[in-house]
Amino acid sequence: MYFCYLDESGTPQLGAQTSHFILLGMAIPAAAWHQKDRRVSVIKARYALQDAEIHTGYIARRFPEQEHIANFEQMDSVQRRAAMTQERKNSLIKAAALKTGDRLKSLKKVYAKSADYIHLTHAQRTQLLQELADEIGGWNDARLFADAVDKVTMPPGVDVFEKTFEQVVSRFHTFLTKREKERLNRGGATTGTSVDNQGLLIQDNNQTVAKKITALMRKFHQQGTLWAKVDRIIETPLFVDSSLTSMVQMADLCAYATRRFFENGETDLFDRIFGRFDQASGRIVGIRHYVGAKSCECKVCAAHRGIAKQK
Ligand SMILES: [Zn+2]
């Protein structure tokens, strides 16, 4: 049985904030869950984050307050936390004095979301994300599936989220079907069971999409997707609390790295996980870059066409 952890990056609506919307699934064999969860915990513990959520977007950003603290790098974790807490308090007082509620509200949000990471310098946080990305990149039994949509190229009226969900579900299902065929070709019952190649989707408990993807999955079970029946995937997606579930956090890291690759050309994290996107006959079939009628020379589009030699 494969668990496929879903996460998104960017907003599906057209807007100035992000040019792309990414939906990504990270599939691992259920039997390998314990080992992987432990390995992620070991890395988190090295950064004193054993009980914290890895929320990549907040870990990766600059914390300007750190740059105002003298000798921040020379301090120990306790001193850094104390100095940052004070510095952030001062920033909130200043923002409150400006009497523009928006600024205060957004600062408070960023501070709350990043509070677990303030004892780490930007270099340490970068290193943490690199280590986690390398860890995922080394999971030979894991597969990534993603749909990356350049939103302005999507025809008007199309529901971007729905399209990406259908893509990711189909790609995951194709992978499971391929494995099941291979198993049967190897002699069937003597080499594992059909259950080994069934899949279950697991999603961060997000009220805005929970109802929608449950309804979509029910529809796929009844009617299939645009391309295929999805009989190797069972149930509607299960919802978990991402703050308590490391694997959803790893899917979040992969979705973030994928969006930053398409939007900003950032390759550092993306290259570390790129090899995990599902492949078939030398082509990358686990990820699609949707650009409508535009032509695109990015390495995902090239690998999708099967003409790029990947390292
Ligand atoms: Zn492309």
Domains with residue ranges and CATH for the chain: 2-46+132-305 (3.30.420), 64-117 (no CATH)
The whole-number average pLDDT for the span 85-109 is: 90
Residues 6+ apart with CB under 8 A from 24: 6, 7, 8, 9, 144, 145, 146, 168, 251, 254, 255, 258
- Full-model pTM: 0.94
What is the Å distance from ligand 1's center to 212 Cα?
Answer: 28
What is the Å distance from ligand 1's center to 230 Cα?
Answer: 27
The whole-number average pLDDT for the span 222-251 is: 90
What is the side-by-side order of every strand in the sheet holding 199-204? Answer: 238-240, 199-204, 2-9, 20-29, 143-150, 287-290
- DSSP letter at 205 equals -
What is the Å distance from ligand 1's center to 165 Cα?
Answer: 19
How far is 114 from 141, CA to CA, in rounded Å? 32
Express each pLDDT in 20-52 by its tens digit: 999 999 999 999 999 999 999 999 999 999 999
End-to-end CA distance of the chain: 30
pLDDT value of residue 226 = 80
What is the Å distance from ligand 1's center to 287 Cα?
Answer: 10
What is the Å distance from ligand 1's center to 123 Cα?
Answer: 30
What is the Å distance from ligand 1's center to 296 Cα?
Answer: 5
With H, G, I as helix, E, B as strand and everything else as coil, classify residue 26: strand
Instruction: Return the closest-CA partner of residue 48 out of 125, 135, 126.
Output: 125
pLDDT-derived band at 309 (thresholds 50, 70, 90) equals very low
pLDDT value of residue 199 = 97
In which element (H, E) is residue 116 found? Answer: none
How far is 63 from 109, CA to CA, in rounded Å? 13
What is the Å distance from ligand 1's center to 298 Cα?
Answer: 4
Residue recorded with tokens 């579930």 = 245
The whole-number average pLDDT for the span 187-214 is: 86
